[in-house]
Chain A
Amino acid sequence: MTVESTAARKPRRSSKRTGSSAGKAVADPQLVQLLTPEGQRVEHPDYDVDLTPEELRGLYRDMVLTRRFDAEATALQRQGELGLWASLLGQEAAQIGSGRALRDDDYVFPTYREHGVAWCRGVDPTNLLGMFRGVNHGGWDPNSNNFHLYTIVIGSQTLHATGYAMGVAKDGADSAVIAYFGDGASSQGDVAESFTFSAVYNAPVVFFCQNNQWAISEPTERQTRVPLYQRAQGYGFPGVRVDGNDVLACLAVTRSALERARRGEGPTLVEAFTYRMGAHTTSDDPTKYRADEEREAWEAKDPILRLKTYLENEGHADEAFFASLEEESETLGKRVREAVRAMPDPDRMAIFENIYADGHALVDEERAQFAAYQASFATESDGGFAAGEGK
Chain B
Amino acid sequence: MTVQKLPIAKAINESLRKAMETDPKVLIMGEDVGKLGGVFRVTDGLQKDFGEGRVIDTPLAESGIVGTAIGLALRGYRPVVEIQFDGFVFPAYDQIVTQLAKMHARALGKIKLPVVVRIPYGGGIGAVEHHSESPEALFAHVPGLKVVSPSNSSDAYWMMQQAIQSDDPIIYFEPKRRYWDKSDVDTDAIPGPLHKARTVVAGSDLTLVAYGPMVKVCVEAAAAAAEEGKSIEVLDLRSMSPIDFDAVQASVEKTGRLVVVHEAPVFYGAGAEIAARITERSFYHLEAPVLRVGGYHAPYPPARLEEEYLPGLDRVLDAVDRSLAY
Contact surface of A with B, Cβ cutoff 8 Å? 83-84, 112, 130-137, 152-155, 184-185, 187-190, 215-218, 222-223, 283-284, 288-289, 345-346, 348, 350-352, 355, 360, 362-363, 366, 370, 373, 383-386, 389-391
Contact B298 A355 (CB under 8 A): yes
Q: Is the CB of A134 within 8 A of B126?
A: yes
Give the complex CA separation of A151 and B60 in angstroms: 15
Task: Report if A188-B32 is in contact (Cβ < 8 Å); known contacts: A346-B305, A384-B321, A390-B322.
Answer: no
Q: Map CB proximity to A onto B300-315 as digits: 1 under 8 Å, 0 otherwise.
A: 0111111011000011
How many Cβ-Cβ contacts under 8 Å join chain A to chain B? 128
How far, in whole Å, are A363 and B298 apart by their CA atoms in the complex?
A: 7
A residues within 8 A CB of B126? 83, 134
A/B interface sample: 12 pairs, CB < 8 A: A83-B126, A84-B127, A131-B128, A153-B90, A216-B31, A217-B57, A345-B304, A351-B308, A352-B298, A363-B298, A370-B296, A384-B314
Query: Taking A131-B129, A370-B296, A390-B291 as contacts, is the C-beta distance between A154 and B304 under 8 angstroms?
Result: no
Say yes or no: is B267 at the interface (Cβ < 8 Å to chain A). Answer: yes
Given contacts A152-B130, A346-B302, contact A351 B35 (CB under 8 A): no
Note all chain B residues with C-beta closer than 8 A to A348. 305, 308
**CA of A155 to CA of B62, assembled, Å:** 11
CA distance A34 to B232 in the complex (A): 73
Tell which of B32, B91, B289 has the most Cβ of chain A within 10 Å: B32
B63 proximal to A (CB < 8 A): yes
B residues in contact with A83, CB < 8 Å: 126-128, 303
A351 touches B31 (CB 8 A): no
A217's contact among B32, B127, B309, by CB below 8 Å, is which? B32
Which A residues are CB-close (under 8 A) to B305?
A: 345-346, 348, 350-351
Tell me whether chain A's interface is mostly helix, strand or loop, or mixed.
Answer: loop
Query: Complex Cα distance A197/B129, Å?
Result: 28
A223 and B60 contact, CB distance less than 8 A: yes
Cβ of B88 within 8 Å of any chain A Cβ, yes or no, is: yes
CB of B111 to closest CB in A, whole Å: 25
A152 near B60 with CB under 8 A, answer no
Query: What distance in Å separates the Cβ of B289 from its nearest Cβ neighbour in chain A?
Result: 8
A188 touches B128 (CB 8 A): no
B218 to chain A minimum Cβ distance, whole angstroms, is: 17
Report the minimum CB–CB distance from A247 to chain B (whole Å).
27
B203 cross-chain contacts in A, Cβ below 8 A: none
| CB–CB A84/B297 < 8 A | no
Q: Check A189 against B128 for contact (C-beta < 8 Å).
A: no
**What is the bound-complex CA distance between A348 and B57, given in angstroms?**
40
Partner of A185, one of B32, B60, B309: B60
A180 nearest CB across to chain B (Å): 15
Check if B60 sits within 8 Å of A136, measured CB to CB.
Answer: no
A362 to B269, CA, bound (A): 14
Chain A residue nearest in CB terms to B63: A189
CB of B320, distance to nearest CB on chain A (Å): 9
Separation of A308 and B130 alpha carbons in the complex (Å): 40
Is A217's CB under 8 angstroms from B303's CB? no
CB-contacts of B121-179 with A (<8 A):
126-130
Task: Tell whether, in the assembled complex, residue A288 and residue B302 are in contact, meaning their CB atoms are under 8 Å apart.
Answer: no
A153 touches B298 (CB 8 A): no
Residue B200 interfacial (CB < 8 Å): no
The yes or no answer to B71 lying at the interface (CB within 8 A) is no
Q: Say yes or no: B60 contacts A184, CB within 8 Å.
A: yes
Tell me the complex Cα distance, A154–B89, Å: 11
- Interface residues in B197-244 (C-beta closer than 8 Å to A): none
With A187-B64, A346-B302, A390-B291 already in contact, the answer to whether A383 and B35 are too (CB < 8 A) is no
Residues of chain B whose beta carbon lies under 8 Å from any beta carbon of chain A: 31-32, 34-37, 39, 57-61, 63-64, 87-88, 90-91, 126-130, 267, 289, 291, 296-299, 301-306, 308-309, 314-315, 317-319, 321-322
Q: How far is the CB of A379 from chain B (nearest CB, A)?
A: 14
Chain B residues within an 8 Å CB radius of A385: 318, 321-322
Residues of A within 8 A of B34 (CB): 217-218
Contact check: which of A132, A218, A350 meets B301 at CB < 8 Å? A350
B309 contact set on A, CB distance < 8 A = 351
CA distance A390 to B322 in the complex (A): 8
* Minimal Cβ-Cβ distance residue in B for A348: B308
Q: Name the residue on B nearest A386 (C-beta).
A: B318
List, in ascending order, chain A residues with CB within 8 A of B301's CB. Answer: 350-351
Query: In the bound complex, how far is the Cα of B205 from the Cα of A313, in angstroms?
Result: 83
A84 touching B35 by the CB < 8 A rule? no
Chain A residues with CB below 8 A from B32, complex form: 216-218
The 5 closest A-B pairs by CB, nearest first: A134-B303, A217-B36, A187-B59, A184-B60, A289-B35
**B residues near A136, Cβ cutoff 8 Å:** 302
Q: Which residue of B lies closest to A183 (CB)?
A: B60
Q: How far is the CB of B61 from chain A (nearest CB, A)?
A: 4
CB A188 to nearest CB in B, in angstroms, measures 5
Are B128 and A152 in contact, with the CB atoms below 8 A? yes
The answer for the CA separation of A67 and B13 in the assembled complex, in Å, is: 39
Q: A351 contacts which chain B residues (CB < 8 A)?
A: 296, 298, 301, 305, 308-309
A361 to chain B, nearest CB (A): 10
* New A-B pairs, 15, CB < 8 Å, besides A348-B308, A355-B299: A133-B304, A134-B126, A137-B128, A152-B130, A153-B91, A184-B59, A188-B61, A189-B61, A189-B63, A216-B36, A288-B37, A346-B302, A383-B321, A384-B314, A385-B322
Shortest Cβ distance from B288 into A: residue: A390
Are the CB atoms of A135 and B61 closer together than 8 Å? no
* Bound Cα distance A136, B289 (Å): 36
CB neighbours (8 Å) of A130 from chain B are 302
Cα-based distance from A284 to B291 in the complex (angstroms): 41
Is the beta-carbon distance between A217 and B35 smaller than 8 angstroms? yes
Q: Given A217-B34, A366-B297, do A84 and B128 touch, yes or no (CB 8 Å)?
A: yes
Closest beta carbon of chain B to A218's beta carbon, Å: 5
Are B297 and A134 within 8 A (Cβ)? no
Interface contact B297-A360, CB-CB below 8 Å: yes
Task: Find chain B residues with CB under 8 A from A386 CB.
Answer: 318
Given the complex, which residues of A lie within 8 Å of B267, measured CB to CB?
A: 362
